[in-house]
Amino acid sequence: MFLVRLRRIHNVRGLIIALAFLLTSSACSTEAQKKRHLERGEEYFGEEQYQEAIIEFLNVIQLDENDRVANQRLGLALYNTGQLGPAFRYLQRAAEFNPNDTEVRVRLATIYRYSGQIEEAREEAGAVLQDDPKNLDALTVFADTASSPGEIEGAMRRLENARSEHEADARFHLARGVLFIRQQEMDEAEAAFQEATDREPDSPAGHLALGTFYLVTNDFTKAATEFDQAAEIAPTRSGTQIRVVDFYRLLGRADDANARLDALVAEAPDFLPAWQRIAGYSFADGDYERSKEALEHVLETTPRNPEALRLLAEVYRETGDRKAADEKFRETISVLQDFVQRRPEQASAHFRLAQMHMRVGEIEQARTSLDTVIEIAPNSPSASILLAELNIRTGRASLAIAPLQDLAQRQPTAITNKLLGQAFLAEKDFEQAVDAFREYVALAPTEAEAYHDLGTSLTALNQTEEAIKQFREALSLDPTYVEPLAMLATLDARQQRLGRAIETVQSQMDQIEPTGRHHFLLGQLYRASNDLDQAEQSFTTAVELQPDLNAAYAQLAAIYSSTNREEEAIAALERGLEHDPENVPVMMLKGMVQHQTANIGAAQSTYEELLGVNPRFAPAANNLAYIYQEQEGMLEKALELAEMARAEAPDNPDIADTLGWILYKRGTYERALGLVKEAAAARPDNAEIHFHVGFVHYRLGEFQDTAEAFSRALELDPNFPLAEEAQTILLELR
């Protein structure tokens, strides 16, 4: 027995030794594989065969995701092939492994710059310059992101301090040229860009800079020549190619831009920035299928790319697949939340997360993310602007004013003054609004919206003639712009000149190819003038041109209802819901039409469906509560809905009446009386509400008050639905 046991022990030991050997062999094998892939990757990287290097470094990371060299080299290789999105992830990891890696931090700064995250770009570049004050790449980013006079002067001073080291480098002169433009010293800027091109004629950067300069100075012929040269010189997989495409679009050469993008992805199918531009521009052009195809290419390689996920959600939304859109929006938020957990100090990630929360209507979450951005980067203009926009949108405009005033003083921009004007308008400080909008016009003299906003504020001050001038200027800049045309029509309508308003709108429509919104505006004017036939025709044309214009379906439904064509009204609303199945106002109107035509079951279903979309929509909750309170066994559910509606809209007298009547039915007479009396005070001409007041008094034994309320109800409408019951009780009381 002892021998058997010993043999078993021996076998176990042998097994342990064998397993240890296998594990050691496996580890050795893994290390050997890593070494081979790293060596090959380094060789390819040194020979600038970046695509091959990328494959080798990815192989290393599959074996060991924390390999410092592989993360750094992979990030740089991706960067060098223009794949900035994927590069960003690995460069960030490399920076975490080695915060003193100057090359990595400069590349991160550049990516931030390209993506418009100015504060983060300056932060990274500034960190590099602390250790290496004459690093030309960091100096270039610092110059390119300077905006305030102090920042511009500081960047120029840094460059001058490094002149002796870098004067022979074209990038030095390009950076100076950028700063000269910011200082409005255009001759010096052109000379600097030309100097850069002369020193390195085969550098695409110089031609890009000159092209941009000529674009800014409206010399489009020279601009196009420089961009074409840059495209010919630059490697296929480069940021230069993408910038050239963007400039083609700016120049109105959309066909050239599309052709260039097609050529880029044909030559380099793995060049993700080109696919991303195809996706973005196709979306802007309404070619959603092409946009989706391009995004699928991007997500195949980078499945957690938040920008690609966001745009795919927008594609689904535009094509009517709201469920898929919501899933992708949520996935985008999840990706960004994961990122900010790993990099909580990254202001730009919190900012993008705030944008996404706003996109899906999560206002408080957006506010929290923006507060975090401002805590991390107190001088972030983008966060201040978005937070101000959020406050204005949610009725907290007063909170937006001081930060916007501070920002407008530090960095006066069109958007800052636009929002400041909107905030003052919301607070009814019309004179201050006019001042802000005048500054908006001065900073953006070619933007039609600036003149419209100024005109709106002048209208609020009753400066009608000056307002009309601004609206006309807006239309001269953009003849298709509906809002200033609507304001001109409104000013005529206020003076009972509906005929002139119609002529104004029709005259403008004759000069352009009118949109659905133009016909909608015309329909509103015809309806206001009681020409229902013309109004119906205009609204019908509006939805033919713009099938997703739900306001037009609602107007058609209103016309049909007013002319006892309820079936047509419901059909019009259902057509609108085909394009936007979860449009709450249209769903509400549909339920109301069904309710008014005594189709209670259909109305109940519509209200229930609406509350599935927006569970706290008070009007639907109120109407559904009223339906429920008439059904056996549903009084408690009715009470729950009415209480919720009251919490959401505490000043609504109809909701007060509904809740009061339900409480009366439950025997809670004292509270019921207070609510129905509140409703009657706000709706003194509503016979049914006065009946409710009288009936609660009746149950409380307050017969004099009962008689007064019932008499008032019958006086208002002798034939209201409960009139017979009121008359019976009055006879009984006498």
Task: Report how far residue 439's alpha carbon sits from residue 416's, in angstroms, rounded to the nearest whole number.
Answer: 10
pLDDT for res 703: 93
Q: Mean pLDDT, to the nearest integer, of 186-190?
A: 91
Of 431, 442, 375, 377, the closest CA to residue 408 belongs to 442
Number of helices and strands in the chain (H, E): 42, 0
* pLDDT category of residue 26 using cuts at 50, 70 and 90: very low
Over the stretch 651-683, which tens digit does the pLDDT of each residue have? Answer: 999 999 999 999 999 999 999 999 999 999 999
* pLDDT category of residue 568 using cuts at 50, 70 and 90: very high
Task: Report how far residue 535's alpha carbon sits from residue 556's, in angstroms, rounded to the nearest whole number.
Answer: 8
Count of CA atoms in the C-beta half-sphere (13 A) of 508: 28
Q: With contact defined as beta carbons under 8 Å apart, do 382 and 349 qualify?
A: no
Q: With contact defined as beta carbons under 8 Å apart, do 654 and 622 qualify?
A: yes
* Token output for 496: 């009972």
Over the stretch 302-321, which tens digit does the pLDDT of each residue have? Answer: 888 899 999 999 999 888 78
Q: Check whether 107 has a pLDDT greater than 80.
A: yes
Task: Report how far residue 491's alpha carbon sits from residue 497's, in angstroms, rounded to the nearest whole number.
Answer: 9
Task: Report how far residue 302's alpha carbon sits from residue 700's, in angstroms, rounded to the nearest whole number.
Answer: 71
Task: Report how far residue 565's alpha carbon sits from residue 392's, in angstroms, rounded to the nearest whole number.
Answer: 40
pLDDT for res 24: 38
Task: Report how far residue 689's alpha carbon sits from residue 660's, in angstroms, rounded to the nearest whole number.
Answer: 10
pLDDT for res 53: 86
Task: Report how far residue 404's alpha carbon sits from residue 417's, in angstroms, rounded to the nearest whole number.
Answer: 8
Integer CA distances (angstroms), 314 to 283, 308, 318, 548, 590, in order: 9, 10, 6, 16, 27
Q: Mean pLDDT, to the nearest integer, of 253-265?
A: 92
Q: Check whether 143 has a pLDDT greater than 90.
A: no
pLDDT for res 18: 39
Of 551, 554, 552, the closest CA to residue 570 belongs to 554
Question: Among the listed ranges 15-29, 381-395, 568-582, which one has the minimum average pLDDT value?
Answer: 15-29
Of 339, 388, 390, 396, the closest CA to residue 365 belongs to 390
Task: Report how far residue 80's alpha carbon sits from residue 57's, in angstroms, rounded to the nearest whole number.
Answer: 14
Q: Check whether 181 has a pLDDT greater than 90.
A: no
* pLDDT category of residue 116 using cuts at 50, 70 and 90: low
DSSP 513: -
200: left (phi over 0), alpha (psi -120 to 50) or beta: beta
pLDDT for res 29: 64
pLDDT for res 5: 33
> Residue 650: phi, psi to the nearest 5?
-65, -15
Q: Check whether 705 has a pLDDT greater than 90.
A: yes
Q: With contact defined as beta carbons under 8 Å apart, do 661 and 676 qualify?
A: yes
Q: With contact defined as beta carbons under 8 Å apart, do 94 and 88 qualify?
A: no
Of 201, 220, 200, 203, the closest CA to residue 211 belongs to 220
Task: Report how far residue 582's alpha carbon sits from residue 305's, in angstroms, rounded to the nearest whole number.
Answer: 28
Domains with residue ranges and CATH for the chain: 34-99 (1.25.40.10)
**Three-state SS at 273:** helix
The DSSP line for 634-693 is -HHHHHHHHHHHHHH-TT-HHHHHHHHHHHHHTT-HHHHHHHHHHHHHH-TT-HHHHHHH
pLDDT for res 19: 39
Task: Report how far residue 656's alpha carbon sits from residue 683's, in angstroms, rounded to the nearest whole number.
Answer: 11
**Other beta carbons within 10 Å of 109:** 27
* Token output for 294: 């391009």
Q: Check whether 25 has a pLDDT greater than 60.
A: no
Q: What percent of the chain has a predicted confidence (pLDDT) above 70?
A: 96
Q: Check whether 33 has a pLDDT greater than 70.
A: yes
Q: Check whether 415 has a pLDDT greater than 80.
A: yes
pLDDT for res 638: 95
Integer CA distances (angstroms), 649 to 147, 196, 617, 652, 693, in order: 46, 65, 9, 6, 21
Task: Report how far residue 592's alpha carbon sits from residue 540's, in angstroms, rounded to the nearest whole number.
Answer: 22
Q: With contact defined as beta carbons under 8 Å apart, do 547 and 517 qualify?
A: no
Q: Check whether 27 has a pLDDT greater than 60.
A: no
pLDDT for res 16: 38
Of 685, 684, 680, 683, the closest CA to residue 696 belongs to 680
Q: Check whether 508 has a pLDDT greater than 70.
A: yes
Task: Report how far residue 595's alpha carbon sits from residue 626's, in angstroms, rounded to the nearest whole number.
Answer: 11
Q: Check whether 50 has a pLDDT greater than 80.
A: yes
Q: Check whether 7 has a pLDDT greater than 80.
A: no
Task: Report how far residue 74's alpha carbon sits from residue 51's, in angstroms, rounded to the nearest whole number.
Answer: 10
Over the stretch 572-631, which tens digit does the pLDDT of each residue have? Answer: 999 999 888 888 999 999 999 999 888 999 999 999 999 998 999 999 999 999 999 999
Is the torsion defined by CA of 598, 600, 606, 607 positive or negative?
Answer: positive
Q: Check whether 273 has a pLDDT greater than 70.
A: yes
**Other beta carbons within 10 Å of 461:** 13
* Token output for 601: 């079951």
User: What's the one-letter identity of residue 311?
Assistant: L
pLDDT for res 45: 87
Task: Report how far residue 269's alpha carbon sits from residue 246's, in angstroms, rounded to the nearest whole number.
Answer: 19
Task: Report how far residue 56's alpha carbon sits from residue 39's, in angstroms, rounded to the nearest whole number.
Answer: 9
Q: Check whether 333 has a pLDDT greater than 70.
A: yes
Task: Report how far residue 340's alpha carbon sits from residue 560's, in angstroms, rounded to the nearest whole number.
Answer: 52
